[in-house]
Amino acid sequence: METQFQTMMKEKSKEAIRMTGAEALVRSLLMEGTEIIFGYPGGAIMPVYDALYSFQNDVHHVLVRHEQGAVHAAQGYARVTGKVGVAIVTSGPGATNAVTGIADAMIDSTPLVVISGQVGSLLLGTDAFQETDVVGITQPVTKWNIQVKKAEDIPGAIARAFYIARSGRPGPVLIDITKDAQFANLDFAYEPIKYIRSYKPVPVVDTQQIEAAAQLINLSKKPLALVGQGVILGGAEKELTEFLEKTGIPAAWTLLGLSALPTDHPLNVGMLGMHGNYGPNIKTNEADLIIAIGMRFDDRVTGNLSTYATNAKVIHLEIDDAEINKNVHADVPVLGNVKDSLPMLTEKVTANTHDEWLEQFRACYRIEYDRIINKELYPIKTGLTMGEVIHRISSAFKDDAIMVTDVGQHQMMASRYFRFRQTRSVVTSGGLGTMGFGLPAAMGAKLGAPERPVCLFVGDGGFQMTIQELGTIFQTKIPVKIVLLNNNFLGMVRQWQELFFDSRYSFTELINPDFQTIAKGYFIESQKVTTREEIDDAIIKMVNHNGPYLLEVVVEKEGNVFPMVPSGASVSDIRLE
């Protein structure tokens, strides 16, 4: 869809207009459809901020409280909208503060364009004030980056950046712009990019590979589909469902594949990996065929590779050639966008059902339900569990909210117990596991999907890593619901200490501030709950509150997330307690 700005610019003559590099930058962003920018000003980016002052009606600039927050917010926005998130930071510390977010976006394939200011080009390499080699620092954690030293190169660099960020396997791109390039004048004309000679974002699907894959699928007695974020990034949810429904193949999902398939879909057999469900993990080694769909066999999913999927042939549908055979050998690699390859495959496979095989997953679920889920969701002990809180909140949102999480036990609990009806409903830091991601990402998610409720689950540890963004939430009036699951511990690390380090709780207990007072300081409505009796009313109050809300729930101090595949163990050695 075109933004107003794009239409207006098209109507104007194609003649170049004279302007500063800074204005050209802002206009270029607008030409790419940018509606929202998360940023933080400073010396080396001031010309751009000055230009932004004139475009306040065309683009919404959100002033964050820390550059890490700007990038995470842009990620949240990108994840729920599928559009490119944009962040602007200054040179030196501004740029280095952004690095964590950029690295997070890189490993989770999130399309971002990050603009950093840089010292004047004559000062480059002289250890000038607030000079850092941002291009060097971010090179390993960006899909592409570039330093621009001339005003006339700005529109081209932006066009390239957006094309690279959003095409193929998406990722973050950084453009470092010297201050003199922002000040200098150029003749502005904008031409989007559709092709780069050395870059092939979407491989063409090889029909022979489709044939070979279809043959394996038709012969398989115990196939298992693994659904990754590639399905969501490719917008292939419908194609996935059609494939699954025709073949009757049970589907399990990775953390980032969550919500591609509705929770209650009969073929949805749950989460893979370390804290995933019992069935999909244990059945991985019984399956005779693994169909990996837009996922990358992360070690948190596979456990020990030498004992992973030992009885299965592997079909790998993947857009990024570097992922093929990286961790798990693919008997039939199918390169391409899964939006293209899935329907081709669906056409070739014979309709089938796998009732008996599916029943085995249900049997596993019953075991997991009795041993774990029931106790977590309907506990009889006094302390509140994370699971019951998450479960109740999911219901209160009619299982149709966007779930954002931070990193830790609550993240795994939320992924296990929150339920989904529609895609692009999960924003979580998967590959990097970045504590502090949640709060800013939730802001971005809410701004990207204002019509949907956005509910953040965050631990008392991670909350304090980016807690300053409460200031942004207050100033910008972003109505996110924050559920702080407070166990007064760095819970996930404590759990590992309990299980693998003889309960030696080395520096994991937190003596916390009064979060209610903090919320008050930021003028954010809040409530603290410690008992089961209070919880439902509190949740309703939060859901119905018109504006941001902090619900702090004091949960049991030493709850554990189970099942668990201990790190380095086989998926078949999944522990139920």
Pick the binder of another protein from 17, 19, 59, 324 (CB under 8 A). Answer: 324
Q: Which of 302, 487, 497, 570 binds ligand TPP (CB under 6 A)?
A: 487
Cβ burial 281-303 (10 Å sphere, 16+ → b, else e): bbbbbebbbbbbbbbbbbebbbb
DSSP per position, 127-186: T-TT---HHHHHGGGSSEEEEE-SGGGHHHHHHHHHHHHHSSS--EEEEEEEHHHHHSEE
How far is 73 from 440, CA to CA, in rounded Å? 5
SS3 annotation, 434-453: CCCCHHHHHHHHHHHCCCCC
Q: Which of 67, 318, 376, 388 is catalytic?
A: 67
Q: How many residues bind ligand TPP (CB under 6 A)?
A: 20
191 lies in the site for another protein, by CB under 8 A: no
Give the span between the Cα atoms of 250 and 138, in whole angstroms. Answer: 40
- In whole angstroms, the minimum distance from the beta carbon of 324 to another protein comes to 8
276, 283, 342, 397 from 374: Cα distances, Å: 16, 22, 36, 21
Nearer to another protein, 140 or 568 (CB): 140
490 binds ligand TPP (CB under 6 A): yes
Q: Which is nearer to another protein, 195 or 507 (CB)?
A: 195
From 35-43, 234-242, 460-468, 525-533, give the range in contact with ligand TPP by CB under 6 A.
460-468
Which two tokens mark 129? 């004030």
Q: How far is the CB of 429 from ligand TPP (least distance, A)?
A: 8
Q: How far apart are CA 444 and CA 380, in angstroms?
A: 38
| Cα distance between residue 302 and residue 21, in whole Å | 48
Alpha carbon distance 385, 393 (integer Å): 13
Q: Are 535 and 473 in contact (CB under 8 A)?
A: no
Residue 439 as a binder of ligand TPP (CB under 6 A): the answer is no
Residue 446 falls in the annotated catalytic set: no
Applying the rule CB under 8 A, the residues between 140 and 179 that interact with another protein are 140, 143-144, 147, 164
Q: Which is nearer to another protein, 174 or 295 (CB)?
A: 174
d(CA 238, CA 383): 41
Helical pair 491-500 and 409-417, crossing angle rounded to 10 deg: 100
Under the criterion CB under 6 A, does residue 81 sit at the interface with ligand TPP? no
Our finding on whether 321 is near another protein (CB under 8 A) is yes
Per-residue binder mask for another protein (CB under 8 A), 473-512, x = binder: ----------------------------------------
Q: How many residues sit in the footprint of another protein (CB under 8 A)?
A: 21
Cβ-in-10-Å burial (0-12, 13-18, 19+) of 546 comes to exposed
**380 contacts another protein (rule: CB under 8 A):** no
130 classed as catalytic:
yes
Q: Position 182: which residue type?
A: Q
Does residue 433 touch ligand TPP according to CB under 6 A? yes
Least Å distance, CB 300 to ligand TPP, is 12
Contact residue for ligand TPP among 407, 473, 519, 551 (CB under 6 A) = 407
The verdict on 136 binding another protein (CB under 8 A) reads yes
335 bridge partner residues: 318
> Is residue 492 annotated as a catalytic residue, yes or no?
yes
Name the residue nearer to another protein (CB basis): 198 or 544: 198
In 10 A of CB 559, how many CB atoms?
24
Residue closer to ligand TPP, measured from CB, 325 or 503: 503
Catalytic residues: 67, 129-130, 179, 492
Q: Which residues bind another protein (CB under 8 A)?
A: 135-136, 139-140, 143-144, 147, 164, 194-200, 320-322, 324-326
Q: Which residues bind ligand TPP (CB under 6 A)?
A: 406-410, 433-436, 459-462, 485, 487, 489-493
